[in-house]
Structure 1
Amino acid sequence: MADRYDLRLPCIRLMQGERALYSFAVDGKRLGDFAAVARVGRDEDAGLQGYQRPEVLKHIRGIQRYLEKPGALLPNAIVVAFDDSVRFEAIDADSSDVTYAAMGTLVIPVDESQDDGHKPGWIVDGQQRTAAIRESELDEFPVCVVSFVANEEEQRAQFILVNNTRPLPKGLIHELLPATQDELPLPLMRRRLAAEVVYRLNVDPDSPFHEMIATPTQPKGIIKDNAVLRMVENSVYNGALYAYRYADTGEGNVGAMVSHLKTFWKTVEVTFPDAWRLPPRSSRLTHGAGIAALGYVMDHLTDGVPLAEVGQASSKIGKLTDVAWTTGEWQFATGPRRWNQIQNTPNDIRLLTDHLRAQLSA
């Protein structure tokens, strides 16, 4: 029948002990011809079937947008587990000194009339990437595949091992972003601009944040990098730093953003010098809640203010006298709170922000 045929792909067989791995390239659009996603579910007797999590639509759309851009690169291999219907035909290579690898052809039986449950392959890792390629407007997108022959229990074990690997720390990703100039998915593009600003704040000697932001390469910093990153990102897209963005590219005038931030936070440092040099456990100023709240105060005082006048506008924080960064109580409208009872939660950040802005408006 025309819908049944053998797909023959150039392949390298790698022996790991007595087990074989097969590495080959294939058009990603064709993965669905021979490999299915085994999603987690229960059969009629409540037995566990499959092992994959459901496709994450937002993540898939982000990958798809990236793949459809010129120069897209997807170097990570898709991992596929096959049943024993596939076979490897080796090519004699007596001249090779390598005994654990062999060149050949992987022969995959394809039956286009089969449903997913009867296809010879299952995707162990790469579910979202495969879906993004499938849904893209591209005519083709070749990918690398690493495969092995296994039963479902072995497949599930490999899935757990692959997905249990510790991901890169967020802080390391944030440090790498400024030096990455290639096109990235939109969420990472947004964060890259903020990450570049935070990097400058941490390394510039004239910055009030100089070497104070804790990162993988600056572990002695006392302020969490994510606290500063969120403050900057919020201002870039919703606050005073928005004026320095380039609307057509999503990038921005990093120098102007850094100057704006240095000016405001230098005023904070001068106004509260003791609290500024203490770690978060001893000061709510360097705590995530304090950084976020004063970020909103910066937007309140300096939004729309020319860069040359940011210092004058920032000087108004001298009116903040009812503060309890390190001792005492916050005299909130809802009642007093001990200084260290303020937590890095949306409700507490909003409470602290409203309190500080009320003082400025008094």
Structure 2
Amino acid sequence: MSDQHVLRLPAIEISQGSRRIYTFAVDGKVIHDFAAVSRVHRDESGLDGYQRPEVLTHVRAIRRYLESDGAMLPNAIVFAFDDRVSFRATGPSNGHAVVGELNIPVDRLLSEGQRPALIVDGQQRSAAIRDSELDVFPVAAVGFIASGLEDQRAQFILVNNTKPLPKGLIHELLPDTTGELPVAYARRKLPAQLMMRLNTDGDSPFQGRISMPTAPDGYIKDNSVLRMIENSLYEGALYQYRDPVTGGGDIEAMVTHIKIFWQQVALLWEDDWCLPPRRSRLTHGVGIRSMGYVMDELTEGKAVDELKNDFVFRSALQRLTHVVAWSEGNWGFADDDTPRWNSLQNSPNDVRRLTTFLLGVCRQRVAELALQFPGESNANS
């Protein structure tokens, strides 16, 4: 068979509202001639791809099964096609489905990223078939023609919604995903957008520090940052920028608000901010979440322009430098409660203990400033 040809496959086109899906059979050994695995990565233009890397042990296990007697793969492999793929009706229709021919262009000279199909579900099965010693292995397949990369991402998340996808991968995909999503994912889309900006903006204290599939060297857990942002969005300082009707909001103001506060944190505790969680409780989940509550306490109701010159929250944070034990020593929660710095964990109880302690110190400092600067609510100087 030549390097360039059209794969003509008997198929059924099924109408689902305004969308069309195609069911067909294809030899698994030729899948990678026309389809690619879009592995998630980030380049200068932003996020690209959406698949997790092949799990080699799983692929090998599937391959061993396929090469055994009586092997069967009943689950369909799902493809997202671009507009180079076409369907031609050739047979009868019952109003919901029509028999025809699916035409997929094949060009073995194209790079993986230029192929007309992406594997949305079945990455490891297709890899196992590709690597097996079998000459041919037909599989069931389902395909749809995507309107763009955002459509492919949305379908990928929905198809894999009941499977244990890595949460970090979902968090990184959500900001650029369109269409209807499960409620739990829809609620996290805005926080994920903010987190992505924090991890990629050049002026962000979090830049490159949040662990994600495209930032494997990050040492701050993405889920800790998400929970900090979510609390602030729904109950704290970022609530003022939200649109309760649409669920969106002023993203630029939100991102800037977070940056202003955490830039001060990174400045005051520069060494602790550069250490991984096992060596610093500031970058640990317990520190990120507790300092998030401090951000809400000190900056709630203060818009970005006001916050830039606000003296109160900076002074309160400065006071904390005398009592924190991020990477050494003991916490002085009470006379009979002085845990070692690294004994605090990202548990509800420890987050509550640390938050209560930090807020107590901050509130005392804010009260002192109110006495020193009566009539000036922000005590600007």
1: CA distance, partners of 2:277 / 2:220: 7
1: CA distance, partners of 2:297 / 2:325: 21
Amino acid at match of 2:317: I
Match of 2:358 in 1: 356
Shift of 1:253: 1.2
Shift of 1:19: 6.0
1:39-50 → structure 2 map (5 Å cutoff) = none
- Deviation string 1:256-308 (CA, Å, 9 cap, x unpaired) is 11000000000101111111111100000000000000000000001111211
Give the secondary-structure state (helix, strand or coil) at the position aligned to 2:244: coil
Amino acid at match of 2:329: G
Q: Is the 8 A contact 1:14 1:20 kept in 2?
A: no
2:227 aligned with 1:230: yes
Distance 1:199 1:336, change over 3 A: same
Q: What 5-or-longer segments of structure 1 have no aligned partner?
A: 1-9, 28-74, 78-97, 103-162
2: CA distance, partners of 1:236 / 1:13: 46
Amino acid at match of 1:317: L
2: CA distance, partners of 1:272 / 1:309: 24
- Deviation string 1:143-165 (CA, Å, 9 cap, x unpaired) is xxxxxxxxxxxxxxxxxxxx9x9
Q: Is the 8 A contact 1:13 1:21 kept in 2?
A: no
Distance 1:12 1:232, change over 3 A: closer
1: CA distance, partners of 2:214 / 2:224: 17
Match of 1:267 in 2: 264
Q: Is the 8 A contact 2:277 2:284 kept in 1?
A: yes
1: CA distance, partners of 2:268 / 2:354: 18
1: CA distance, partners of 2:121 / 2:274: 43
Shift of 1:166: 6.4
Match of 1:331 in 2: 332
CA RMSD of the aligned region, Å? 3.5
Q: Is the 8 A contact 2:175 2:193 kept in 1?
A: yes
1: CA distance, partners of 2:26 / 2:324: 66
Identity %: 49
Amino acid at match of 2:217: K
1:156-235 → structure 2 map (5 Å cutoff) = 167-235=164-232
1: CA distance, partners of 2:346 / 2:288: 10
In the comparison of the two structures, how many residue pairs are matched? 227
Match of 1:322 in 2: 323
- Deviation string 1:161-189 (CA, Å, 9 cap, x unpaired) is xx9x9632100000000010212222211
Match of 1:159 in 2: none
Amino acid at match of 2:267: V
Normalised to the residue count of structure 1, the TM-score between the two structures is: 0.56
2: CA distance, partners of 1:167 / 1:269: 34
Q: Is the 8 A contact 1:12 1:101 kept in 2?
A: no
Distance 1:302 1:14, change over 3 A: same
Shift of 1:314: 2.9
2:262 aligned with 1:283: no
1:1-362 → structure 2 map (5 Å cutoff) = 167-311=164-308, 312=310, 313-315=312-314, 316-320=316-320, 321-333=322-334, 335-362=337-364
Match of 1:121 in 2: none
2: CA distance, partners of 1:20 / 1:174: 30
Q: Is the 8 A contact 2:73 2:139 kept in 1?
A: no
Q: What 5-or-longer segments of structure 2 have no aligned partner?
A: 1-13, 15-21, 28-69, 77-93, 96-119, 123-135, 141-159, 365-381
2: CA distance, partners of 1:194 / 1:256: 13
Distance 1:341 1:309, change over 3 A: same
Give the secondary-structure state (helix, strand or coil) at the position aligned to 2:331: strand
1: CA distance, partners of 2:74 / 2:215: 40
Give the secondary-structure state (helix, strand or coil) at the position aligned to 1:261: helix
User: Which entry has the higher C-alpha Rg, 1 or 2?
Assistant: 1
Q: Is the 8 A contact 1:223 1:287 kept in 2?
A: yes
Normalised to the residue count of structure 2, the TM-score between the two structures is: 0.54
